[in-house]
Amino acid sequence: MPHHEHTENCVTCVCAWCMAKQCQLSADKTEVLWFGSAINMQKLSADELNIKIGQSYVKPVNTVQNLGVMTDAELSMCHHVS
């Protein structure tokens, strides 16, 4: 099973947990950030990078913000420092 399918299965489990707790995971507010070297990331197709949440597909982003810290796929922290 490809890695993105494992990730989708995990997201499905998180969605089920949220529903059991009367919460909802919103695909519109969800971001996906893949970590890896540029060479390895270029080996992946767009279909492998996108994650399905419910009926929606979430495309990967280059930078995410969590608790005020900007993190990029290369863990360089350039966006956070600037």
21 — phi, psi (to 5°)? -95, 10
Q: From start to end of the chain, where are the E strands?
A: 51-53, 56-58, 63-66, 69-72
Nearest CA-CA partner of 61 in 29, 36, 31: 31
Task: Read off the pTM.
Answer: 0.66
Longest dimension (CA), the chain: 41
pLDDT mean for each 10 residues of the chain (82 residues) = 75 89 85 83 83 84 85 74 66
pLDDT of residue 80: 60
CA dist 41 and 61 (Å) reads: 13
